[in-house]
Amino acid sequence: MAGCSGTSESPGGGGNETVAAEDPSAGVTSRQSLRMTVGESVAGSEWTSIAAEYPREHFTLQSAQHEELSLGVDTTGDGTVNESFDESNVSGANNNAYSFNIGLDTGYELQQGDVVVVEYPAVDNPDEAGEYEVDLTLNDEQSATGTLSIQ
């Protein structure tokens, strides 16, 4: 995937956070993939939410229907989703112009080192190329920052 990087995290975070646009071109609407490694602060708890906040002056998020969201967990660290979830696991999806928060009822117990994966279907990329920081939050407890490259 183009445009992946980022490693900033909070205490108890997992590291290796990435945010990538399916189309990293400036000024287009693109599906975006967010990956966040589970750290000790949320390990052992059910996966109940994921949130992202983009720089408000540069990005616009379109609303998304539950069935348009793609959710999963890479349990082996090989980049492949091993546990998948669908719209029946989404208890709520809220967004404004620059952020989203997805509530979940997965029944899945997060393990340290798991990588949660979310694909959000419609984000308007900024008109200017550059590196942009996206704040990620897992289960309202673990926070990290991923960098999104726009070309």
Q: What is the pLDDT of residues 70-125, one digit of tens each?
A: 999 999 999 999 999 999 999 999 999 999 999 999 999 999 999 999 999 999 99
Over the stretch 31-62, which tens digit does the pLDDT of each residue have? Answer: 999 999 999 999 999 999 999 999 999 999 99
> What is the rounded (10 degree) CA torsion for 144, 20, 70, 15?
-30
pLDDT for the residue 28: 98
The total number of structural domains that make up the chain: 1
Domain that holds residue 19: 4-150
Location of structure tokens 């719209």: 87
Q: Identify the band that residue 26 occupies on the pLDDT scale cut at 50, 70 and 90.
A: very high
- Whole-prediction pTM value? 0.88
Q: What is the CATH number of the domain that holds 138?
A: 2.60.40
Location of structure tokens 């990293």: 24
d(CA 50, CA 115): 12
